[in-house]
Structure 1
């Protein structure tokens, strides 16, 4: 219905293939890195389910997840002759049901924080849009995926991001576009190695800093939320609206955004732009705004370091890897933009995506080896490059091209096109915010050094 479509447009912006700005004719696309937030999900906690808000406690929006085929292993003497080691894989039909505390269940009910049927649809559509852009429009990716060398897919170890990425992969390369015996690989890292979000699990220094920002935001901004109490407190049991309230302001916002994205009616006060803008401004300060270089280095430094190394490796070795798609969270997308000083101070939508595109001057093709020799001789561990006009990086977010402040000076971007940052300038900024020893910097200060 029309109202539902209006709500959707406020919480998700589809990838605009038709409006994609094609690069200048003398630039050739070399590699694409995509960091995308997962699709629509249920709230991560039950909030405002009592009247007068009456937002549903149970979301019956996961029907596609309730029935699936599970890969199981069969062991024993009956399979030893046909499978080495006596193991054979079978597909077993399974129905997954959410059991409530009273033992009851309803077909298609979602877990808290679970990717919904809508979220699966929109992430599949995102993958299809990537296909329309990079396969059909630009001819950058092959029509049929014949091996693993040109693609890379990685997700955080959360069901909603893994399922989102699987849907994106299916949209980009559906089964009819897979070569014989090709099954795209989806990578997930152990928690200690994760860098698609700020890893507070392994970086206690980062955790301490972020908690400090939360407390500071509450102390500085709670008073600005007091005017909302008379309008909104009735929806949260009479409690005041505060950054550190019960529920927390971020929790209220999460429930409202998740509800709106699925067409669930929310109290009219939460549809008032001035009210939501006030809430969102406070949350930006608490979660993302005005963070120090130390927070940026510990939070997003390793991610950007990975990205920089892969771009440099592409330039140095000319490897076949063309597209890298990463499935992450709002807490991955926003800090990434913030670290590069291009964040728009709005909470990332579902399927919001940051894209880094690496280009080269076409006339380099005939002199690639000579350029690489010059490149290899530059600063380690990165390959910085000595000809800043030869390779360029363009950053895009939500169909917008974002010129990077670090590349604003003359000589640090393509002449007349500030959105095309020179690779050397981009990697120089990456080097500035890459931790020299992440584990050491993440360690909390020892008791002796605190005095």
Structure 2
């Protein structure tokens, strides 16, 4: 069987693929199953109907700093310079009320931490702006010029932009849109509406503050996982190298150490020579912590943690697809979601394509909806520019029916979400959780860390 990917008005030249099996794009992908004979040469055309793009914000200033290590100089005049080719006015609308967006508690938290050089913690840098602008250029090539999914003129009836309620993701979305549609063009119709959810309703990252079960798991990972046999020997090495004890500093962990070092490396600041032999170990340990935070620490708890952390988001993805299937008037062709590394890890885990690597700045995951001449629909997931064979699917091109079946155990609506979140299910699954909490002193700082997704 030969598949040709077409668009509404042309050939998607970057994605034309003749392949045996139900595959698309990735004939050399080892995950692809060749289960259809090459002699079946009936040609079918696949038309791109919708794309949902989740991307991590661009490079940012550090959130955590390593005690006793001299801070890097984050010069605000250099690192927070606004790039003119990304600038246009935004109208930030509350998704639920339609009014102005609410204040961001996380931004207020970051504003309290001034870094050497004048920058605030966790802010998108000039480099991060350019990274997201470049992503926008790539999306323009794929979905405007090649796929012709949408017009090169921004049209809010076909494109939907949404960000988490944090300054760095809002700015990242602006830069991506500037890359796709051109800031000059967007200024002509500005302010451009983008949508932001109140924190209580947020699904674009694991909503720990609204879910006791997720908060418990995140707390366990941040404050106790480093004592476990898989982590402790490496923790002791780092404590010796940096001359600090993890337990003496709230938030100090493999994740926090990585955060400081990666921000230095990304922006061209020197990383101390004594750290370099431990770089790979820090990467591995921090990535494992992130996966444990948003996908569960043990096999038994993973279905529950993934359902709570990323199930609401995946439910939204499938709802958006259904709107397109039903030809609803407000169905969008392209969704742009500005998110975080925590979002990326959760999605990768849920799809069973986690590669044990921390998602880099401005990386994206795309859900593409295709339709053939018989009106049959298919899903393709792209990560780091490559089609992936996801959970429950036979190949990188997955029938929508098969994809829905694979995702069904993780789908969750608000009522069920709150019911599970307020239960003691995690304590039933993981007896260590309750033991860890005995005798703990829950300061305001500890509570704040516990309710904030690792990495944020």
Give the TM-score normalised by the residue count of structure 1.
0.71
Question: In the TM superposition, what whole-angstrom CA distance separates every residue of 1:20-57 from its partner, at most 9, and x where no partner exists?
Answer: 66657611101001110000001013335x5xx54415
Between 117-126 and 178-187, report the one with greater CA deviation.
Answer: 178-187
5 Å-filtered alignment, 1:35-74, equals 35-47=54-66, 53-60=69-76, 61-65=78-82
Match of 2:214 among 196, 201, 206: 206
Does the 8 Å contact 1:217/1:282 carry over to 2? no
**Is this contact kept in 2: 1:99–1:105, CA < 8 A?**
no
**Pairing partner for 2:354 from 322, 343, 361:** 343
Q: Note the C-alpha offset of 1:225.
A: 0.3
Q: 2-side partners of 1:224 and 1:135: how far apart?
A: 51
1:28 aligns with 47
Q: Report the CA distance shift for 1:277/1:66 in structure 2 as closer, same or farther (over 3 A).
A: closer
Alpha carbons of structure 1 residues 247 and 125: separation in structure 2 relative to 1, 3 Å = same
Spell out the pairing of 1:379-398 with structure 2 (5 A cutoff): 390-398=376-384
CA distances 1:93-120 after superposition (whole Å, capped 9, x unpaired): xxxxx99999x997xx421111111111
- The C-alpha deviation readout for 1:248-271, integer Å capped at 9, x for no partner, is 221110011111111111013444
The answer as to whether partners of 1:243 and 1:250 remain within 8 angstroms in 2 is no
Q: Check if 1:294 corresponds to 2:271.
A: no
What is the SS of the residue equivalent to 1:131?
helix
In 2, Cα distance between equivalents of 1:59 and 1:331: 27
Question: Secondary structure at the residue paired with 2:310?
Answer: helix
2:268 is aligned to 263
Q: Which residue of 1 aligns with 2:228?
A: 219
Q: Which residue is equivalent to 1:440?
A: 419
Per the alignment, do residues 133 and 177 of structure 1 end up closer, same or farther by CA in structure 2, a change over 3 Å counting? farther
Structure-2 residue corresponding to 1:126: 135
Of residues 160, 167, 170 in structure 1, which corresponds to 2:168? 160
2:280 aligned with 1:277: yes
Match of 1:309 among 304, 307, 319: 319
Q: In the aligned structure 2, how far is the partner of 1:41 from the partner of 1:133?
A: 26
Instruction: State the distance in 2 between where 1:100 and 1:287 align.
Output: 25
Check the 8 A contact 2:53/2:364 in 1, yes or no: yes
Deviation track 1:225-257 (CA, whole Å, cap 9, x = no partner) reads 05734xx734x3x12579998732211100111
* Pairing 1:341-420 to 2, within 5 Å after superposition: 341-364=352-375, 390-408=376-394, 418-420=395-397
Distance 1:444 1:344, change over 3 A: same
Structure 1: which 4+ aligned runs deviate by more than 6 Å? Answer: 66-72, 98-102, 241-246
Question: Structure 1 unaligned runs (5+)?
Answer: 1-16, 73-97, 365-389, 409-417
Preserved CA contact (<8 Å) 2:205 2:343: yes
Paired residues for 1:172-211 under 5 Å: 172-178=180-186, 181=189, 183-211=191-219
**1:212–1:47 distance in 2 versus 1, CA, 3 Å:** closer
Q: Say yes or no: does 1:114 pair with 2:127.
A: no
Q: 1:224 to 1:271 in 2, by over 3 A?
A: same
Q: Secondary structure at the match of 1:220?
A: coil
Q: Distance in 2 between matches of 1:420 and 1:220?
A: 40
CA distance in 1, matches of 2:245, 2:111: 33
What is the root-mean-square deviation in Å for CA atoms of aligned residues? Answer: 3.6
| Deviations, residues 157-203 of structure 1 (Å, cap 9, x unaligned) | 01101111111111111244459646532110000000011101111
Moved more, 61-70 or 127-136: 61-70
Are the structure 2 counterparts of residues 165 and 181 from structure 1 closer, same or farther at C-alpha, using a change threshold of 3 Å? closer
Distance in 1 (CA, whole Å) between partners of 2:275 and 2:266 is 13
- State TM-score, norm by structure 2: 0.70
Question: Any idea what SS the aligned residue of 2:152 has?
Answer: coil
List alignment gaps of at least 5 residues for structure 2: 1-11, 18-23, 26-43, 92-109, 297-301, 435-456
Alignment partners' CA distance in 1, 2:193 and 2:290: 33
CA distance in 2, matches of 1:101, 1:205: 29
Determine helix, strand or coil for the equivalent of 2:129. helix
TM-fit CA distance, 1:438: 1.0
**2:112, 2:325 → 1: CA distance?**
54
Secondary structure of the residue aligned to 1:43 is: coil
Hey, what's the Cα distance between the residues in 2 that align with 1:433 and 1:342? 15
Q: d(CA) in 1 for partners of 2:390 and 2:191?
A: 37
Give the C-alpha shift of residue 433 in structure 1. 0.5
Q: 1:246 to 1:304 in 2, by over 3 A?
A: closer
Residues matched between the structures, number: 361
**Helix, strand or coil at the partner of 1:111:** coil
Q: Measure how far apart 1:343 and its partner are.
A: 0.7
Check whether the contact 1:30–1:358 (CA below 8 A) recurs between aligned residues: yes
